[in-house]
Structure 1
Amino acid sequence: MRLRSAMPLLVLTTLMVGAPLRAAPPPPSSTNVADLPAVLVTGVQPGPGMWRVSRGDHELWILGTLSPLPRGMTWQSREVESVIASAQQILLPPSVKMKVDTGWLGKLFLLPSAYSARKNEDGKTLQQVLSAPTYARWQALKQTYLNDKRSVERWRPIFAAQALYKAAIKANGLSNSGGVKAAVDALAKQHGVTETAVDYPVTIEHPRAAIKAFKQAAPNDVMCMSRTLDAIEHDLPSMKARANAWATGDLQALRELPDSNRRQACIDALADAGFARQLGIDDIPEKVQATWLAAARKALETNRQTFAMLSMDELLKPDGYLAKLRAEGYTVEAPLE
């Protein structure tokens, strides 16, 4: 069953995968974000260099990914193309593969229940569940980015926040992926290299019960909404600067520029919700990390050369995926800056 049929769980896994785990606040930036230029880079851009993990003569080259990225750029890295051309395998970014354990007829009847979980309980509107100041901020941004779309007024704050964020980054010249994944797919096909999904499987054995649990043990999605409004009102210059830094390969700027805590707030709201604990999916990030590390170890043992993609935030963390590999005796080298 496709993920959209279990919409509450889709939001959970989409936010969690590739996000930092209970990340500490970013270090203070030496750059005054308010003075950063709002102009996004365009045209062909190389992106950042790659991290190299090795043991003996076996190598794993990792490209750090970022979202959002400039919509008007075309990513083209000769270094990445050279690695892929000589690679025996490509590890795709880690993800959650969700399976709903029900027949096709059950899936058909499950859809209305899944979509009803997107709405507030008892038919309440956002005006009724948000504080007056928060609702006023929401209204102003909704009119700017969602064309005063009325149906979203009955959505739960976490779903409304996601719709608003997606529209806002698009309106500001940003893209979720920047075409990076599509470019890697094309290089894999061109050079005949196998792409391997790195999925952590989650089976929802009782989907109706899962949706009921989501409704009854609601996450603190008001905080997710508040942080999303903060990000759109104040963090867009920083998002654009980070997007430009990735496109031009400026890792020092990526380290210094603050990232929005919007995603983490939404992750925390969902992971701390009773339904996530009931379903045993409150520790998905840890399990996804373990799944990726196992795939990386296997690739380093089997292949002379492997290419992979991971969240840039993970690669820059002192205690992230790379720290785990380094602790196991692998040599880890950061790209030259």
Structure 2
Amino acid sequence: MNPTVVRPLRSRPVLWAMLALALGLPVHAQNAPAPATTAPGQVTNLEAVTVSGEQPGPGLWRVSKGDHVMWILGTLSPLPDRMQWKTDDVEQTIASSQEVLGPPSIALKPKTNFFGKLFLLPSLIGARKNPDGQKLQQVVPAPDYARWLTLKQQYLGNDRSIEDWRPIFAAVELYDKAIKRHGMTPSGGVKDAVRDLAKKHNVKFVTARYTMLVEQPRDAVKTFKSSPMDDRECFGRTLDTVERDLGRITERANAWATGDIDLLRSLPMNDQREACIAAVTEAGFAKQLGFSDVKQKADGIWMEAAEQALNSNAQTFAMLPMEELLSPRGLIARLKAKGYQVEAPDGSDAEGVAPVQP
């Protein structure tokens, strides 16, 4: 069997992409370590090299009740760009399953027909820009802007158009370019590979998705474009990540690729994400449109689908973000609390605290 080569994320309209990105990120995470003291503009990343070639990826978590079992693959972002994921064991597990359950996801669906969607596209132009024509320099703290200029030159070059963008969009662009420069890719193609394997073996793929129907999409875009957003902390935390933490993120990506669960447990998972999630969910426009609790709703849909699969299928294959498997507040811990038996790839329990008793 051939290893799976990583593939990039597909592009999406900017407003929906940002909201889906921020709202869909896991929030059950460990606390990040306190950042080291660094002079403005000084980059302190440790040198780290991503693994390449054929790699096994992490082992599978086992959730069971009676003779019904669910095997769960932990996903992670970013991953090594030049890695080839060896999917032999995963493929055999999928082929022997009656169902593949995708991870919790969120979709924003405009309530309009095809032509309405077509005419909606022009209104998305400029959605990334700050309201009232403000420049990035005017909306972020001066020390952060000074750091931004250094990192922008390093990773983005002389692109002047980005100076019109909201801090959260500028932060995402910087982060994406930085991880690419360090040999990583946002998706790794893992979810697509699992979906393809399910299709290959004619196994039903179930999407655990919470879909938000946007009643007035043009009004929603208009509200978003004119509304303020407190995304300065997201911007600053992203600068911290790019300045200091790319070595740790590379180490985490390598740990996923090589299947080092102990190392994954020891490394923080949240980076700048919680601050960026809050920037979206706490914004006035998000509360008006009902975005504030969609993560919880998506998790609820996944839990319901997982329990149904465990009751109905002899064997199920599923995916969850790695932090949902490692956190004591994650979805795997919630299944354990409901009475399901949980075993990590190394034979420990859900949080890796104690060996599973025979």
TM-score, normalising length: structure 2 = 0.86
Q: Where in structure 2 are the equivalents of 1:1-337 lying within 5 Å?
A: 4-5=12-13, 7-21=14-28, 23=29, 25-26=31-32, 38-336=48-346
Per-residue deviation at 1:164? Answer: 1.2
RMSD value, Cα: 2.2
Per-residue deviation at 1:8? Answer: 2.9
Q: Give the aligned residue type for 2:127.
A: A
Render the CA deviation track for 1:50-70: whole Å, top value 9, x for unaligned: 111111111111000110011
Q: Which deviates more from structure 2 when the two are superposed, residues 312-321 or residues 113-122? A: 113-122
Per-residue deviation at 1:171? Answer: 1.1
Distance 1:9 1:193 in 2: 30
Partner of 1:31: none
Q: Give the aligned residue type for 2:31.
A: P
Q: Give the aligned residue type for 1:305.
A: Q
Could you say what secondary structure the match of 1:52 adopts?
strand
Task: Give me the identity figure in percent.
Answer: 53
Could you say what secondary structure the match of 1:107 adopts?
helix
Q: Which deviates more from structure 2 when the two are superposed, residues 209-218 or residues 242-251? A: 209-218
Q: Which is helix-richer, 1 or 2?
A: 1
Q: Give the aligned residue type for 2:179.
A: I
Distance 1:201 1:312, change over 3 A: same
Per-residue deviation at 1:235? Answer: 0.6
Q: Give the aligned residue type for 1:81.
A: E
Distance 1:36 1:48, change over 3 A: farther
Render the CA deviation track for 1:253-285: whole Å, top value 9, x for unaligned: 111123353111100111111111111110111
Distance 1:77 1:284 in 2: 32
Distance 1:26 1:143, change over 3 A: closer
* 8 Å CA contact 2:22, 2:280 repeated in 1: no
Q: Give the aligned residue type for 1:117.
A: A
Render the CA deviation track for 1:222-252: whole Å, top value 9, x for unaligned: 2111111111111100000001111111111
Gaps of 5+ in 2: 1-9, 35-43, 348-358
Distance 1:73 1:102 in 2: 41
Q: Which deviates more from structure 2 when the two are superposed, residues 313-322 or residues 105-114? A: 105-114
Render the CA deviation track for 1:164-199: whole Å, top value 9, x for unaligned: 111111111001122322332332233222222211
TM-score, normalising length: structure 1 = 0.91
* 8 Å CA contact 1:220, 1:273 repeated in 2: yes
* 8 Å CA contact 2:25, 2:277 repeated in 1: no
Distance 1:36 1:134 in 2: 21
Distance 2:159 2:165 in 1: 11
Could you say what secondary structure the match of 1:116 adopts?
coil
Could you say what secondary structure the match of 1:219 adopts?
coil
Q: Give the aligned residue type for 1:270.
A: V
Distance 1:272 1:35, change over 3 A: closer
Could you say what secondary structure the match of 2:50 adopts?
coil
Could you say what secondary structure the match of 2:328 adopts?
coil
Distance 2:11 2:49 in 1: 35
Q: Give the aligned residue type for 2:57.
A: G
Distance 1:128 1:27 in 2: 29
